[in-house]
Amino acid sequence: MALWGGIEAGGTKFVCAVGTAPDKLSAEIRIPTTTPDETLGQVVEFFQQQQALHGEIEAIGIGAFGPVDVNPDSSKFGWFLNTPKPGWQQVDFVGLVKRELGVRVGFDTDVNAAALGEHRWGNAQGIENFIYLTVGTGIGGGGMIGGKLIHGLLHPEMGHILIPHDRSADPFPGSCPFHQNCLEGLASGFAMEKRWGQKGVSLPADHPAWALEARYLAVGLVNYIFTLSPQRIILGGGVMEQKQLFPMVREQVLEQLGSYLDVPAITQNIDSYIVPPGLGSHAGLAGAFALALAMAE
Amino acid sequence: MALWGGIEAGGTKFVCAVGTAPDKLSAEIRIPTTTPDETLGQVVEFFQQQQALHGEIEAIGIGAFGPVDVNPDSSKFGWFLNTPKPGWQQVDFVGLVKRELGVRVGFDTDVNAAALGEHRWGNAQGIENFIYLTVGTGIGGGGMIGGKLIHGLLHPEMGHILIPHDRSADPFPGSCPFHQNCLEGLASGFAMEKRWGQKGVSLPADHPAWALEARYLAVGLVNYIFTLSPQRIILGGGVMEQKQLFPMVREQVLEQLGSYLDVPAITQNIDSYIVPPGLGSHAGLAGAFALALAMAE
């Protein structure tokens, strides 16, 4: 059976794997994200070893942290652009992988990759318009419109939308270096840690942090709903592993829509409208595989 | 030459026209929006007269105020849904037009129709990802992603996104009956009139109202940019006929993006990134024609 590769290129670590399917891996490695030379060197080495062991890899799919150039017609397709991550600006990621490994490469943002994985194997099967939002250290969003991954001038940076911030209820100024109190600045895992002085995971389930978090996330979702009218919203990422958040977010979304959108798919089925990833924390790597498979279709 | 029909179905008036192209009209009529029976009766009568005079109309395109059902697979396709407009809830608009006139009907929201018109003849020619926002009595948005009009569960209701509202700088509570201080509640023509006690058109160009208006609109645009990454934004509607707003909105968009998106198409070409409709106030009716033409393609 044909062998495929996937790279989940995150700001903290790169997960690389080969296999015949995302749930049939023959090898997997986690590489810390340090410098491009070091990290990408280890990525190339891993796949070269796999090629030596197993022969040809059909294609490698990459889901990467951004901003990246995802326009196949651009001279910088597959490059990291002006990411705040030191040393990673203007690095030709896809070019390196193609050159060193001699394979076809599918490439998109980490969140669009996860969205594609969910579309193929997870909670967005058969759904043509949906959003995949990850709430982790940062907040990022991708998804599909009309059955195609959302691209445009660049790609969505959904975490950075500007939202109401009631400073009397929440005096924390926000943690985004660019916009201070955008959604990411108020509701990312990093923001939670800055606001409460400890990681979200260490806060008890009845801590007021979660009600505040649910309110901010709900405002974000309401804005995406009004802008895109998605048929489903998938919420992944480390913060969303606090499962008590789901019912709180759903309730807040209904409240903040303010009876304007009387659509049964939302008002009567909110539990199946806002859902976790069907692939759990594997959505990202599975999505990278889906990008690889798409190269052969 | 083939004859086409267009209906721009607005909350204040319906504009109906027939012609061989949107700039080659043989007849046009404006009908006040009163009750469905009265208004739609006059619409049907106009087109029946045209059919009696000129023979067959190939297709009629309709761009309608919302919310409407734009899903061709739905049993309520072409219906007005739970619009706040008294008497217009659950009215089968497209069914009536088809039945009474025996023609094919293309149907979408007023803003998606205008977007299609701009794509075909205006300022979005050759652009596959863009937003058309109308800032008038209300605020509505449509557009294209990947060359297709944005649809989803329903259709976008972009005017209702929730945005920061500094009540010390702007104590006006907002005018939206559903969300009070959403974008529409703070920046529509109706909100301006409520806030300042007079219509926007009567405020001088150097009135502080315009700087505030530009700030709110810019927050909205920044949120759409982060969510959709459009290649261009077209701003139409009565409020945007105050041409002094364009440079103010552009400046505010750059400021509020906060250097995050270093994309030359925005940062170096903002004047061609945020533009008025190429078709001016004809975008809506032209868009209805484009919907009719699309029925034959």
Q: What is the ipTM of this complex?
A: 0.94
What is the H or E stretch that residue B271 is in?
Answer: helix B270-273
| pLDDT over 70, % of chain B | 100
- pLDDT tens digits, one per residue of B261-283: 778 899 999 999 999 999 998 99
Structure tokens at A288: 């990278």
As a whole number, the mean pLDDT across chain B is 95
Strand blocks (E) in chain B: 4-9, 13-21, 24-32, 59-64, 79-80, 91-92, 104-109, 130-135, 139-145, 148-149, 232-236, 274-275
CB contact under 8 A, B82 and A262: yes
CA distance B17 to chain A (A): 30
**Statement: residue A260 has pLDDT above 80:** no
Residue B67: asked if its preceding bond is cis (omega within 30°), the reply is yes
- Does the pLDDT at position B115 exceed 90? yes
Contact present, A194 and A231 (Cβ < 8 Å):
no
Residue B180 carries which DSSP code? B
Partner-chain residue, chosen from A158, A164, A259, that has the shortest CB–CB distance to B226: A158
Helices (H) and strands (E) in chain A, counts: 10, 12
pLDDT at A263: 86
* Alpha carbons B163 and A264: distance in angstroms, whole number: 26
Pairwise CB contact (< 8 Å): A158 & B266: no
How far is C-alpha B156 from the geometric centre of its chain's CA atoms?
A: 11
pLDDT at position B74 over 80: yes
- Residue ranges covered by each domain of chain A: 4-113+281-294, 129-276
Q: Is the pLDDT of residue A47 over 90?
A: yes
Does residue A259 have a pLDDT over 80?
Answer: no
Provide the pLDDT for residue B1: 82
**Interface contact A228-B228, CB threshold 8 A:** yes
Mean pLDDT of A229-256: 96
Percentage of chain B lying above the pLDDT 90 cut: 91
Per-residue pLDDT, B263: 86
Please name the fold of domain A4-113+281-294. Answer: Nucleotidyltransferase; domain 5 (3.30.420)
pLDDT tens profile B4-16:
999 999 988 999 9
Q: A241: alpha, beta or left, given left = phi > 0 and alpha = psi -120 to 50?
A: alpha
- Kindly list the strands in the beta sheet with B104-109, ordered across the sheet, starting from the edge strand earlier in the chain: B24-32, B13-21, B4-9, B59-64, B104-109
Q: pLDDT tier at A296 (50, 70, 90 boundaries)?
A: confident
Residues 41-80 in B contacting A (C-alpha not used; CB under 8 Å) = 67
Q: Pick from A85, A139, A161 the residue to mutate for testing the B interface (most B CBs within 10 Å).
A: A161
The architecture (CATH level 2) of B129-276 comes to: 2-Layer Sandwich (3.30)
Query: Which pLDDT score, from 0 to 100, does residue A275 have?
Result: 98
Mean pLDDT of A197-216: 96
- Scanning chain A, the segments in alpha helix (DSSP H) are 36-54, 93-101, 110-121, 183-187, 189-196, 208-228, 245-257, 264-267, 270-273, 283-294
B288 and B8 in contact (C-beta within 8 Å)?
A: yes
pTM to 2 decimal places: 0.95
115-134 in B: which are within 8 Å (CB) of A?
A: 129
- Locate the chain A residue with the closest alpha carbon to B181: A164
**Residue B291 tokens, joined:** 């919907």
- With H, G, I as helix, E, B as strand and everything else as coil, classify residue A101: helix
What pLDDT, on a 0 to 100 scale, did the predictor assign at position A1? 82
* Per-residue pLDDT at A83: 82
**B181 contacts in chain A (CB < 8 Å):** 164
Q: Which amino acid is at A36?
A: P
pLDDT of residue A248: 98
Q: Does the pLDDT at position B101 exceed 90? A: yes
Are B145 and A146 an interchain contact pair (Cβ–Cβ within 8 Å)?
yes
Is the minimum CB–CB distance between A179 and chain B shorter than 8 Å?
Answer: yes
User: Can A4-113+281-294 and A129-276 be said to share one CATH topology?
Assistant: yes
Q: What local confidence, expressed as pLDDT, does residue B68 receive?
A: 94
Q: Could you tell me the strand order of the sheet in which A104-109 lies?
A: A24-32, A13-21, A4-9, A59-64, A104-109
